[in-house]
Structure 1
Amino acid sequence: MHGSAGLTGRRTECAVLDDLVKAVRGGASQVLVLHGEAGVGKTALLDHVAARVGPCRVVRAAGVESEMELPYAGVHQLCGPLLDLLDRLPTPQREALGTTFGISAGPPPERFLVGLAVLSLLSAVAADRPLVCLVDDLEWLDRESAQVLAFVARRLEVESVGLVLAARAVPPSLAHLPSAEVGALPDPDARALLDAALAGPIDIRVRDQIVAEAHGNPLALLELPRGIGPADLAGGFGLPAALTGGIESQFQRRVDQLPEPTRRLLLLMAADPSGDAALVARAAQRWGVDRSAFGPAADAGLTDEGVRFRHPLARSAVYLAAPADERRAAHEMLAAATDARTDPDRRAWHRAAAAATEDEDVAVELERSAGRAQARGGPAAAAAFLRRAAALSPAPAKRGVRALAAAQAEVRAGGFEAARDLLATAAAAPLTDQQRAQADLTSAELAFVTDRGHDAAPLLLQAAQRLEQVDAALSRATYLEALSASIFAGRFAVPSADVRAVARAARAAPPAPAPCAADLLLDGTALSYDEGYVAGLPVLRAALARLRSASTASGDDLNLLWMAVTTTLRVWDDDGWDALSDRYLRLARETGALGHLPLALTARAYLQLFSGNLATAASLTDEMTAITEATGSSQAPYGALGLAAFRGDASAGPALVSATKADVARRGEGVGLTFAEWAYALLHNSLGNYPEALAAAERATAYPQDPGSLIWAAPELVESAVRTGRPSAAHDVFALLTDMRVACGTDWALGIQSRSEALLTDSEPLYRSAIEHLGRTRMRVDLARAHLLYGEWLRRRRRRTDARAELRTAYDTFTESGATAFAARAGRELSAAGGNTHPRAPARDHNLTTQESQIARMAGEGLSNPEIATRLFISARTVQYHLRKVFTKLGITSRTQLPRVLPTR
């Protein structure tokens, strides 16, 4: 039985692939992962697709074991023929690909920015003509290319792009994508394939033995009979020895029967299967092998007519069976034949493989290759070069320095286990104090990205102290990072590196001779934790003023901006929060800093929540979700948690709180626990469930070592304590609010303190004072809550007319904001005071999908299609497709109509 295109026994697989091509030609995007053991026929199925694409354009790539350490080698194979359309990409994406491919110079791009650029490039190509991308041997792709392809595969939607990936097993990064196993051929198909491959008759016993040995593997069925004599096939009683040992053994037996020059030639091809015939010929000539050696290899069915093996298993059989000294000799010949000017990295890799002992010259060359890999945005490749350079370093000191550099590259590449091993190698070397401090920094960074708080602060503190005498500026920057990490760790910090211990150590460090904004931020933060909130306030304000007045910012300022934004909250500076969170988010987007983008989006989303712009906050939260999905990262759902709390979502809120608490406890992120309990208290205050709110607020405020983290939880504790008849429970926290009000004097601080004191004292002037102060801020939800509390107070004193005015203001603000539970609470009070809520007709959503809602909101905010695509990690073509559906569902014809018809939620 033969399948389509002559593939025996693959009717089902061919039908699936034919349907995929048909869908792509019809305008859809399709992804399929073919997986199965070596030799099962995955490459033949890719060839089938290539032969059936019709008008589609086809590009192909294949993982090559020798190129696994060359950054973006697989992406270059796939996208190289498409670079004529590079000008269609947005500037940041075009520059990222240009740097990656060595077309232009620039800073190393974030790998997910490269992924977005590849997605946009494929979409641009498909806009002219449907595109089918075929990628073989996925397991042998370089790490950067594998990450980019996984990213693209998850984000394809309606670009008319087909992506078929072949691998021995489905990688975890592709586990949720459509896949098809290419299994063994059934016995009837296996016999049919064997019969078709044989030139003459075969004894039934020999045929059955071949079929049994092959286990339905097509490659085995085609390769095992090779070398069996006619007599054996026709009716010999003994079973041929060639049938034992599997496919690789069969390949190796054929190699052993070849003349020595041909075996050398095959070893050269196996050591560098780049397909560069000229390179192999030059290396062969150096090894005394002439072109006549090619013939026997092709006759034995091991190679094609050029310099490629017929199957990767043949290559691995040749390479692994060769003695170590012969493998080194082959690499030496290839290194000598490789042009050091045009292909220095491949030459360095071959020289390293040829080295039998430590060799400083080779190590230096590998270091240069690592530098080039870093410049192209390939930290995994840089780590590989540096790791090999360390192994070849004769001097222990240089071995340690190179191992440390390799560890730093592995952390950036996500190779955390490899980084730990390399750091252990570096620790055993005679490093300088500065180098040991750098090792501490790298260990801290590794701890922070893998466990977010348990170990980062003490390691950063250790590094900062070690750096004091060798690099004072770096020491102070590290102290600021240590403070940041200890704030994150919060109640989970180890006593020797909690926020107060780090603050005391930072204050004892040598001062900056000419303090910059970062120095002021460090000094003010350390002072506020060591001597008290009030002591550090003037210095922190000076730091924030210096940062706000700065005209430019670079990617190096991202850590500083995160700390600055959190500081604006601690000093009750809502204008600073707005200005610096906006700058932080813009810089993170412009630089493609995916490590910072979730933090920047969270900071900006919460400003919008407190400002009453819940729809904008939802858009930012959608963007956070898109990043998480695109990168496959895990992060506590802070954005969704805040939205649920402000909306009063009783169905989703508790589950989000539980998920957040479990996640931050696992990672040792104590500030997240405070955050989750605050959200739970806010949620239940909005619902009027005050006992639950009080319990959560007490848990949120149970870590007094960090007063700044309590500014949101404290008002929730005061309100819930008063409403449950336990005002004494809020005594200590109210005293903290009073101290902050006296020190800060901002309208935000004064308004919250007045509102809380009004609840505790039943003071009408204080309610009015709260409304007056909060009315001068951008904190619309806090202002509406002040109107609500004052209106409730007035109604209980039977001043119904006055109450209705306050409650009406609160109700309208909550309704416009989308704070549903607070709006319902205000509506009940308004009705009880004799007023009407006059609910608005709900805005039309016409069953928009989640993604359609995301895109519609962003378009309504004035973003262009490329800007929306960048934020949601999809193509601009997909954005346009969904916008057309949005317009149809909403019955509009213009983007300018979107704000009018979109629901506020």
Structure 2
Amino acid sequence: MGAPTGDITLFGREPEIATLDGFLDRVRERGEALLVRGAPGIGKSALLSFAVERAEARNLLVSTASGVQSETHLPFAGLHQLLRPMLAAAGRLPGRQREALLGAFGMAGTGDPEPFLVALAVLNLLGDAAAHRPLLIAVDDVQWLDAPTTEVLGFVARRLRSDPIVLLMALRDGHPTSLDASDVPELRLNGLEPAAAEALLDAGSSGLSVGLRWRVLSEAAGNPLALVELPLALDAGTVTDETGFLPLTARLERAFAVRLAELPPHTRGLLLVAAANDGHDLADALAGGATVTGADLTAEALVPALDAGLVELHDQTLRFRHPLVRSAIYHKAGGTDRLAAHAALAQVHARDPDRRAWHRAAAIAHRDESVAAELEEVAVRARQRGAITVAVTALRRAAEVSEEPAAGAHRLLTAAELAFELGRGDQAAELLALAQPSVLGDLPHARGVWLSEVLGEGRNDGPARIRRLVTMAEAAQAAGDRELALNFVRAAAIRCWWSDPGWEQRSRVIALAGRLAAGDDDPELLVTMATAGAVEHGAEVIERLAKVGGARLDADVTRLLGVAASTVGAFDLVGGFLESSIADLRTQGRLGLLTRALSTQVWRQVFCGDWAGALLVAEEAERLARETAQPRRQASALGMLALLAGLRGEEERGLALAAEGERVLGTVDISSVVALIEHARGVIALCAGRYDDAFGHLWRLFEPGDAAHHPIWQQWVISELAEAAVAAGRTEQARRAVAELEQVAARTPAPLLHVGLRHARASLADDADAEALYQDALGADLSHWPMARARLLLGHGMWLRRRRRIQEARVPLRAARDAFDVLGLLAWGEKARQELRAAGEASDRRVAPAAEQLTSQELHIARLAAAGLSNREIAQQLYLSHRTVSTHLYRAFPKLGITARGQLRDALGNTSRD
């Protein structure tokens, strides 16, 4: 079938791009991605062909690729096909990106490249190509692309808005891919309308009887390919009552198989080899076909297949007319013939170890340790190229053909660990279940237990589970595997953070971490001490962190130190560690760990007063958590965004974000995340003046047995609880909570706890004591806690006004109003204005700084540009194309009222503060 004429309507699209021509014309203004879905033969390929024709007529640059079922296990095969015309420009990419991309294609030696660095390199390579001429990328049969290529395409599709690139991807129904959960817009192709279907049928098969014509129209259901091919099968008598209930795809395969039966044996043998091959090279097909048929074959052997319209031959490239032709030929052959075809191709591809291994694996119906070993090497090479999904598949197949059960179990365990790294818990659980019956030896068993533990991360079985983890850690230590032992200790420590099992268990976890530690300042030890003993070891942790502060350490170490500082409430120390860690993790492209570091950084910014920075970091953390399949981190980020919305007085948005966080978390029992979301809801209600609701949400953190109960998080919300309690008439409950935390404060110097307690004491005090307690709280060093200071000033001013000390009240209320305005905390600023009006003093409305007119993405980019980074450096940090960065700056300048990059710092003012 040729490409259609005229134009194509894209139903459901915006009016200006409701046709394919309009869609392509839009590319000069902005990038677009579109996923085209439909049944086999419905016209997806024709739509892409039409798009290519129209793009070339508009002088667009065009790059195409097509998935091939036999290439799904070849890492980045589809991506290499797509980028081959542009690879000469790879030398202009930043060093790490260039190395990652060429390493993915096996064109350069490299370590284990981060997949997101490969994806970022692709985005920049495409952006550079499109800078000269707008670019159309047309990718057909996405369901058969190798998984690493599909993931890269998803990454690119989400970041095309500012580049003159159209990405069209065609995907067959019923084939799950990593694009299913993406937010790429979709166009679903349905069958032809009855009149069009009749016209197409009559144009190709005008001699059909009335009965056959009706049957074809009925069974084709508007499918264009079926309308062309089914008449041939019906004429040949191959569609009978027995096949009346076959799916349409199977019917079409049989229709193509009709012509296959009429071909000479050597042609059928050659076509079978071509169908089993993972490439389109004619020479490979002829060489394999010669082995299978025992005859010297030339291109002449293809003539009958060419005449039958099953294949096409162009410049020594052999392609099937339609993927269903390939499928029909492969599945029509007997099992023995298919094994022989793969065996022949293993010989043909003897110089390509990956292809050879896959074909050897497909050529056997028994176990063979030599094949398993080759597949294990395939997995090693795939990991080195950043193709973890391919490594998982290779290890699973290696396990299936392993002769020794223990060797197969080891391969399955490794595959399960890799699947877990990818965030594919269901796949990891399946592989682990397959491995466990054959696991032999203490260490392999411990590896299986560890993986089972992390897969069940949300389960919280209390002290019994912690005891089991400690026992396994001790066993791993005794067996000499320190890293595995540390894994168990980390899991035990985080469960101590979720739910207090008692000091006996927590001290056992800390003691074991001490035995495994490389020294007193080992970050693994400090994190364990902080998460399992934040109160008992808080002073020690803070002291050691203060000593380490100025040292230059790698990203993993500084991230752990930042986590330790945040867990003991020393948020004033967090920034020094995490800022360097985040910078290194960005450069390395390690988005999974970057997401975790950003999640910790947000709280430092919230508590220490960088509200604008907190919003940017929380939004980035949520986006990256979604992309890296970390639902717990995504739920946390949504909770953070909910709290920030509440502080700005955006009640409806804040509640929606909190609800979304709960939805993402699901039924997983992680009290720290539930506490965070309830903290957000409490602050939202407090800022909205719903004091009973605020107290109810915050009190859940203090209620033993509640899913939100969290002894450490209580320390961070005690000031909000006290404020809500006073307004809601619940002071006695709040005083009990303060009394319990006073005992905790006597054992730890956690800065945030002491800041909050001083505020709570003053808020809950009797009139006789309140004045002195407010002065004590305001007299403390609050230089790192500007939001806490502003709230104290507001509370003090309100207390003074209610005691009719009007003149005195105006001073702290003005200071609070001004501080909230600077911080951008609109809800609190409005509360200060209301109090000032009640004290007889009017306030001008807050004038929003120009920076608040920027979108979060524009503000993020502008802040980095103000710090002196180039567009390319900003793009690398934020995983965008440099053209996207340029577009955002172009839009930001008029909003800020500036014309030059050098004016950014002054225009941004306090929002550029780190």
The Cα offsets for residues 73-96 of structure 1, whole Å up to 9 and x where unpaired, read as: 211211222122224434443333
TM-score (norm 1): 0.87
Alignment RMSD? 3.5
User: 2:168 — aligned with what?
Assistant: 164
Verify the 8 A CA contact 2:111 2:384 in the aligned structure 1.
yes
Say if 2:488 is the partner of 1:485: no
Correspondence list, 1:344-423, <5 A: 344-423=353-432
Q: CA deviation at 1:366?
A: 0.5
Say if 2:435 is the partner of 1:426: yes
What CA distance in whole angstroms lies between the structure 2 residues aligned with 1:6 and 1:688? 63
SS at match of 2:319: coil
Query: Which moved further from structure 2: 637-646 or 866-875?
Result: 866-875
What CA distance in whole angstroms lies between the structure 2 residues aligned with 1:127 and 1:454? 56
Correspondence list, 1:438-477, <5 A: 438-448=447-457, 451=458, 461=470, 463-471=472-480, 473-477=482-486
Q: CA deviation at 1:296?
A: 2.5
Task: In structure 1, give the amino acid aligned to 2:187.
Answer: A
User: 2:308 — aligned with what?
Assistant: 300
TM-score (norm 2): 0.87
Identity of aligned residues (%): 35
Q: CA deviation at 1:893?
A: 1.1
Verify the 8 A CA contact 1:630 1:873 in the aligned structure 2.
no
User: 1:544 — aligned with what?
Assistant: 545
User: 1:692 — aligned with what?
Assistant: 693
Task: In structure 1, give the amino acid aligned to 2:545.
Answer: L
Task: In structure 2, give the amino acid aligned to 1:120.
Answer: N
Task: In structure 1, give the amino acid aligned to 2:603.
Answer: Y
Cα distance change, pair 153–751 in 1 and its aligned pair in 2 (3 A): closer
Verify the 8 A CA contact 1:144 1:380 in the aligned structure 2.
yes
User: 2:773 — aligned with what?
Assistant: 766
Verify the 8 A CA contact 2:513 2:524 in the aligned structure 1.
no
Verify the 8 A CA contact 1:32 1:180 in the aligned structure 2.
yes
Say if 2:526 is the partner of 1:521: yes
Query: Which moved further from structure 2: 137-146 or 628-637?
Result: 628-637
The Cα offsets for residues 546-567 of structure 1, whole Å up to 9 and x where unpaired, read as: 6535422145x47xx35x4343
What CA distance in whole angstroms lies between the structure 1 residues aligned with 2:640 and 2:874? 19
Verify the 8 A CA contact 2:379 2:390 in the aligned structure 1.
yes
What CA distance in whole angstroms lies between the structure 1 residues aligned with 2:487 and 2:629? 29
The Cα offsets for residues 31-89 of structure 1, whole Å up to 9 and x where unpaired, read as: 23333322233223322222332322211111111111122221121122212222443
Within the candidate set 44, 48, 51, 1:49 is matched to 51
User: 2:677 — aligned with what?
Assistant: 676
Cα distance change, pair 763–382 in 1 and its aligned pair in 2 (3 A): same
User: 2:836 — aligned with what?
Assistant: 830
Query: Which moved further from structure 2: 407-416 or 57-66?
Result: 407-416
Verify the 8 A CA contact 1:191 1:211 in the aligned structure 2.
yes
Query: Which moved further from structure 2: 61-70 or 259-268?
Result: 259-268
Say if 2:580 is the partner of 1:583: yes
Cα distance change, pair 21–757 in 1 and its aligned pair in 2 (3 A): closer
Verify the 8 A CA contact 1:565 1:603 in the aligned structure 2.
yes
Q: CA deviation at 1:826?
A: 2.4
Task: In structure 2, give the amino acid aligned to 1:28.
Answer: R
Correspondence list, 1:612-627, <5 A: 612-627=609-624
User: 1:667 — aligned with what?
Assistant: 668
Say if 2:818 is the partner of 1:812: yes
Within the candidate set 90, 93, 115, 1:89 is matched to 93
Cα distance change, pair 457–149 in 1 and its aligned pair in 2 (3 A): farther
User: 1:69 — aligned with what?
Assistant: 73
What CA distance in whole angstroms lies between the structure 1 residues aligned with 2:198 and 2:480? 73
Q: CA deviation at 1:148?
A: 1.8
SS at match of 2:456: helix
SS at match of 1:666: coil
User: 2:237 — aligned with what?
Assistant: 241
Say if 2:348 is the partner of 1:325: no
Q: CA deviation at 1:568?
A: 1.8
Verify the 8 A CA contact 2:470 2:489 in the aligned structure 1.
no
Cα distance change, pair 250–772 in 1 and its aligned pair in 2 (3 A): same
Say if 2:279 is the partner of 1:274: yes
What CA distance in whole angstroms lies between the structure 2 residues aligned with 1:509 and 1:873? 36
User: 2:606 — aligned with what?
Assistant: 609
User: 1:574 — aligned with what?
Assistant: 571
Verify the 8 A CA contact 1:358 1:393 in the aligned structure 2.
yes
What CA distance in whole angstroms lies between the structure 2 residues aligned with 1:771 and 1:223? 84
The number of residues matched between the two structures is 872
What CA distance in whole angstroms lies between the structure 1 residues aligned with 2:514 and 2:787? 44
Structure 1 stretches of 5 or more lacking a match?
A: 229-238
Task: In structure 1, give the amino acid aligned to 2:742.
Answer: T
What CA distance in whole angstroms lies between the structure 2 residues aligned with 1:599 and 1:360? 40
Verify the 8 A CA contact 1:348 1:362 in the aligned structure 2.
yes
Query: Which moved further from structure 2: 512-521 or 64-73?
Result: 512-521
What CA distance in whole angstroms lies between the structure 1 residues aligned with 2:525 and 2:678? 31
The Cα offsets for residues 123-144 of structure 1, whole Å up to 9 and x where unpaired, read as: 1110011111111111111122
The Cα offsets for residues 326-359 of structure 1, whole Å up to 9 and x where unpaired, read as: 111111111011133xx21010000111122110
The Cα offsets for residues 389-434 of structure 1, whole Å up to 9 and x where unpaired, read as: 1011111110110111111122233443332221112111142211
Q: CA deviation at 1:818?
A: 1.3
Query: Which moved further from structure 2: 219-228 or 328-337?
Result: 219-228
Q: CA deviation at 1:378?
A: 1.0
Verify the 8 A CA contact 2:3 2:47 in the aligned structure 1.
no
What CA distance in whole angstroms lies between the structure 2 residues aligned with 1:91 and 1:545? 35
What CA distance in whole angstroms lies between the structure 1 residues aligned with 2:107 and 2:507? 47
Cα distance change, pair 218–734 in 1 and its aligned pair in 2 (3 A): closer
Q: CA deviation at 1:323?
A: 1.6
Query: Which moved further from structure 2: 508-517 or 162-171?
Result: 508-517
User: 1:793 — aligned with what?
Assistant: 799
Query: Which moved further from structure 2: 853-862 or 471-480?
Result: 853-862
Q: CA deviation at 1:256?
A: 2.4
What CA distance in whole angstroms lies between the structure 2 residues aligned with 1:365 and 1:584? 38
Cα distance change, pair 175–676 in 1 and its aligned pair in 2 (3 A): closer
Query: Which moved further from structure 2: 365-374 or 891-900?
Result: 891-900
User: 2:22 — aligned with what?
Assistant: 19
Q: CA deviation at 1:699?
A: 1.2
The Cα offsets for residues 809-867 of structure 1, whole Å up to 9 and x where unpaired, read as: 22211111112222222233334445453444333479655654554555456554335
Within the candidate set 29, 32, 35, 1:33 is matched to 35
What CA distance in whole angstroms lies between the structure 1 residues aligned with 2:337 and 2:471? 48
Verify the 8 A CA contact 1:665 1:673 in the aligned structure 2.
no
Q: CA deviation at 1:607?
A: 1.7
What CA distance in whole angstroms lies between the structure 2 residues aligned with 1:293 and 1:518? 68
